[in-house]
Amino acid sequence: MDEFMQAAIDEAKQGRQEGGIPIGSVLVKDGKIIGRGHNKRVQDADPVTHAEIDCLRNAGRIGCYRGTTLYSTLMPCYLCAGAVVQFGIKKVIAGESETFSGAKEFMESHGVEVIDLNSDECKQMMTKFIKENPELWNEDIGK
């Protein structure tokens, strides 16, 4: 596990401790974390505060996203994939896509390199959450 995915996992765990959904994200540029965030839909009562959106907000205005990599514990959904494409982020590293397939093909069709780590830790974290909170999870994914 590299340090950046570990930081995203730490964000996911923080979100869960706050009573939210355990998805975390970090934005990396030049080998440094410049933004971090976690899903805050529950905490903020905001349907669009996904981990990746929170991460980008916390990174602030960085001007150009060229050379950045977005790490997320879960394959980004279409909302977050749209932000990736809109800002020109060219690389996304996802912890897993087994519990939620996300929008990998959409990002790839827009020139984004997408790597799925198929992380057991990320899968276990989401599987446990989904089993314990099916209604909240279904709300999060729009079911």
User: Reading across the β-sheet that carries 91-94, which strands appear in turn?
Assistant: 32-38, 24-29, 68-72, 91-94, 113-116
The neighbour count for residue 136, using CB atoms within 10 Å, is: 15
Provide the pairing of β-strand 113-116 with 91-94: parallel
The residue count of the chain comes to 143
Of the candidates 91, 85, 100, the one whose C-alpha atom is nearest the C-alpha of residue 70 is: 91
**CA pseudo-torsion sign 34, 58, 84, 105:** positive
CB neighbour class for 64 (10 Å; exposed up to 12, middle 13-18, buried from 19)? exposed
Residue 3 annotated in active site: no
Active-site residue, selected from the candidate residues 3, 11, 18, 52? 52
Active site residues: 52
